[in-house]
Amino acid sequence: MKVFITGGTGYLGSVLVEHLIRAGHDVTALARSDASAQRLLDAGATPISGTLSDTATLSREAAAADAVIHAAVDYSMTEQTNRIELDAVAALTDGAGAADTGKPVIFTSTGLVYGFAPDRDQAEDAELPERSAQPVKVAAERIVLGAAGVTGTVIRAGLIFGRGGSGLVTGLIQSATATGVSTYIDEGTNSWMPVHVDDLADLYIKAVERPVAGIFNAAGTVPFTFRELAEAIADLTGASVTSIPFAIAGERFGPFAHVLTSTGGLIAVKACTTFGWQPSTRSLVDDVRFGSYSNRAEAASSDR
């Protein structure tokens, strides 16, 4: 299949490109710079010059492809970036749906759309709260699911980890290296169910090859608490571990403090039963202590 992907040089996107090519697919990917284009060429993909603002390009390439994956992520959530995101998703679905063949369009969303209430329903058919960390994702989901002529699939991923990536994890490692302190908020007993980036990429491959419309949670099988993560980062960096009260965390992190104290209990039963997907038992805490994040700590230390 010919697959067009946005965000193909990002954390998740680069792994998706690798998995798609390994599975025998012909990959074209959006490239916003010469450096990005070269990275795609080196990976075996065909770069398409442009940005998410180039809606004509997005529509054309989506129309020419057999499947579309939107993996580009921008967490700045400004009015401008939100508009760019929604216009880009609309262009992709319009282009993909022009032939009315039901070609798959896969949209990368997040478990953060379920909000922050500790007792919230995190099933795929749950009514979403007005308040979440990513309201633009909810709006984009509706575009994909309501688009004509395509098979719209939304993947709501938990925290993605592995291969030394994930902005949240690497940011916490950098902070601990710089300050000598690895922190968690209050008791730090709130837990998340993360998903390894290679497992997540495998789910996308299955969704491309056997498309099914709908929303699917994507989570692994090994949870972590934020205290456990802070302790693992301390072991990795040689930092001390301390708890900070939520009031101070709110001053330091702003609204993101709500994210860091939320509980993410995503269950991926629907994805497993629909696509025959089976996430591995890889652990984020173990990967921080003993695995792919050691280079991140060394890099942060050398930058000091």
User: pLDDT tens digit string along 236-267?
Assistant: 999 999 999 999 998 988 878 988 999 988 99
pLDDT > 70 in the chain, percent: 96
pLDDT > 90 in the chain, percent: 85
Encoding tokens for residue 256? 């993101």
The pLDDT of 115-119, averaged and rounded, is 82
> Using N-to-C axis directions, what is the helix angle for 226-237 and 167-179, rounded to 10°?
50
Residues ≥6 apart with Cβ < 8 Å to 64 = 2, 4, 28
Q: How confident is the model at residue 228 (pLDDT cuts 50, 70, 90)?
A: very high
Which pLDDT tens digit goes with each residue over 161-209?
Answer: 999 999 999 999 999 999 999 999 999 999 999 999 999 999 999 999 9
The pLDDT of 82-86, averaged and rounded, is 96
Average pLDDT, the chain: 94
- How many Cα atoms within 13 Å fall on the side-chain side of residue 144? 30
Residue 70 backbone phi and psi in degrees, to 5: -100, 100
Instruction: Give pLDDT, residue 255.
Output: 79
- Supply the CATH classification number for the domain 162-193+222-266+277-302: 3.90.25
- Judged by DSSP in three states, 54 sits in coil
Instruction: Give pLDDT, residue 297.
Output: 63
- Judged by DSSP in three states, 151 sits in strand
Instruction: Give pLDDT, residue 240.
Output: 98
Cβ(149)–Cβ(221) below 8 Å: no
- Judged by DSSP in three states, 206 sits in helix
CA distance 145 to 126: 15
Which pLDDT tens digit goes with each residue over 14-27?
Answer: 999 999 999 999 99
Which pLDDT tens digit goes with each residue over 29-63?
Answer: 999 999 999 999 999 999 999 999 999 999 999 99
- Supply the CATH classification number for the domain 2-157: 3.40.50.720
How is the chain split into domains, by residue range?
2-157, 162-193+222-266+277-302
Instruction: Give pLDDT, residue 277.
Output: 98
pLDDT at 129 over 60: yes
